[in-house]
Amino acid sequence: MTNLVQRNRMKILISTLVALAFLALLFSWLQRRVWRSAGDLNARVYPLQLKLGDTLFFADKSSFARSHRWAFGDGNILLSDSGYYRYSQPGYYQVSLTVNNSYSRIFNIRVLDTLVTVRTEDSVTIIEAPEMAMQFENVVFRARTRKARLFSWKFGESQTIDAREAMAIYAYQQPGEYLVSLSTDETPYPALHKIKILPSYKLVNDSTSLDDAYREIDDDFKYHLQQIANGSQFNEHYNYLLRKYLCGNENTVMRVNGSKLSNFYYYCSGLQFDKQTSIQAVKVGFDNAQDCVTKVEVQQTKE
């Protein structure tokens, strides 16, 4: 009888230990899969130092993210997962990302004044440009010089002369690493600069076709226009579209139902007061650099 009791106690003890081990493993799995922390955010902002007028890129690809709030330290806020931003004043800024209203991360940004002068009289021409940029992004290249008057830029993609001004803007069509060359009348050898071009987030990912990427943009534009028509926080949705797709151009052409023309500002202003409008479809058109939406076709009806 005693041996039987002892065996039963041993079975109970073993079962309890197995159950506790299982619960510990389950707790650890849930902690990794459900309970998140700021360290789990897959976010980036670059460059961390830029010139006034240059583009700041921001993106968050956290798999668990349902909402985003980017605060740029100058009073402006965007609610998209990724995009571009330009500061209007030089200085130090803290870019703050909040995901799902719970997880936060801060990036320290320095914006330099563009009016930087070459300090020494005998300094040779140098190239002033970012070391990293995005595919299709307009990248600004500047020649800092005191003596040069003639300029020939080669940005490394076409293997030909791409520009002949002291300041040039170029958008790379393919990702990769490029050697930028600037020849001048000052020295017999060119100034050189290396730049890395990352794949554009407009293409979503490597497995997504370009048509699918544009379809997502059309659907996103349609969603925010419908929110304006529904009377939902006009400034939030208006500024989102203006900054993410229109490059700040409020005069972007809007064609409604194939005939009626307006610009983005007047169209959205009227849309917020006409709450019976149903946006059926949107088709956007980009500029040649695929950087800014320049025309929007809207199909809409009255409910």
What integer is the mean pLDDT of 221-230?
Answer: 90
Residues comprising the chain, all counted: 303
CATH number at 126-201? 2.60.40.10
Q: How far is CA 233 from the centre of its chain?
A: 22
Q: For all residues of the chain together, what is the average pLDDT?
A: 79
What integer is the mean pLDDT of 270-275?
Answer: 77
114, pLDDT greater than 80? no
289, pLDDT greater than 60? no
12-47 pLDDT per residue, tens: 667 776 666 666 665 555 444 455 566 677 888 888
CATH superfamily membership of 38-112:
Immunoglobulins (2.60.40.10)
128-174 pLDDT per residue, tens: 888 877 777 778 888 888 888 899 999 999 878 998 888 888 888 88
- CATH number among 3.10.450, 3.40.50, 2.60.40, 1.20.1640, domain 204-302: 3.10.450
pLDDT at 152: 94
SS (H, E, C) 55-67: CEEEEECCCCCCC
Tell me the pTM: 0.38
What integer is the mean pLDDT of 85-90?
Answer: 85
285, pLDDT greater than 50? yes
Distance CA(12)–CA(225), nearest Å, equals 63
Instruction: Report which of residues 111 and 207 the model is more confident about.
Output: 111
Whether the link from the prior residue into 47 is cis, omega within 30° of 0, is: yes
Where are the domains positioned within the chain? 1-35, 38-112, 126-201, 204-302
pLDDT at 107: 86
Short-list 53, 55, 56, 58, CA closest to 68: 58
pLDDT at 221: 92
Q: In what order do the strands lie in the sheet with 56-60?
A: 43-46, 56-60, 82-85
192 — pLDDT class (breaks 50, 70, 90): very high
Same fold flag, 126-201 and 204-302? no
293, pLDDT greater than 80? yes
Pairing assessment for the beta strands 103-112 and 49-51 based on DSSP bridges = parallel
pLDDT at 37: 61
